[in-house]
């Protein structure tokens, strides 16, 4: 093998290696961008879910209203039984 053939082979190998590294770098950049977008979406969902809970005061007020109605139904049933 002559020196020129070795230089050509090394040049081809380096060109293919450089092309492969460029593809890998672009793919990594795309994945990082997608990961950042996904993390932003997840954080928005977390804020949405955390903001949607019922407050303790509202829950207790609704529960008290429900118990009042149940008590009224029980009283009506007791009156029916008495007749």
User: What residues does each domain of the chain span?
Assistant: 1-52, 55-83
Which pLDDT does position 50 carry in this prediction? 63
30-66: pLDDT as tens digits: 999 999 999 988 888 876 666 667 888 999 999 999 9
Nearest in space to 2 (alpha carbons), one of 29, 38, 10: 10
Which pLDDT does position 83 carry in this prediction? 63
57-66: pLDDT as tens digits: 999 999 999 9
Question: Cα–Cα distance between 17 and 3 in angstroms, integer?
Answer: 21
Q: Is the pLDDT of residue 82 over 90?
A: no
19-33: pLDDT as tens digits: 999 999 999 999 999
Collapsed DSSP state (helix, strand, coil) of residue 45: helix
Torsion of CA 39, 40, 41, 47, to 10 degrees: 110
Which pLDDT does position 48 carry in this prediction? 66
Question: Cα–Cα distance between 59 and 61 in angstroms, integer?
Answer: 5
């Amino acid at each position: 093998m002559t020196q020129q053939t070795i230089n050509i082979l090394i040049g081809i190998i380096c060109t293919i290696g450089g092309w492969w590294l460029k593809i890998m770098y672009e793919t990594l950049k795309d994945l990082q961008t997608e990961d950042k977008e996904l993390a932003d979406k997840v954080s928005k969902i977390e804020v949405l879910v955390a903001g949607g809970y019922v407050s303790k005061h509202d829950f207790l007020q609704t529960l008290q209203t429900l118990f009042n109605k149940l008590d009224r139904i029980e009283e009506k049933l007791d009156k029916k039984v008495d007749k």
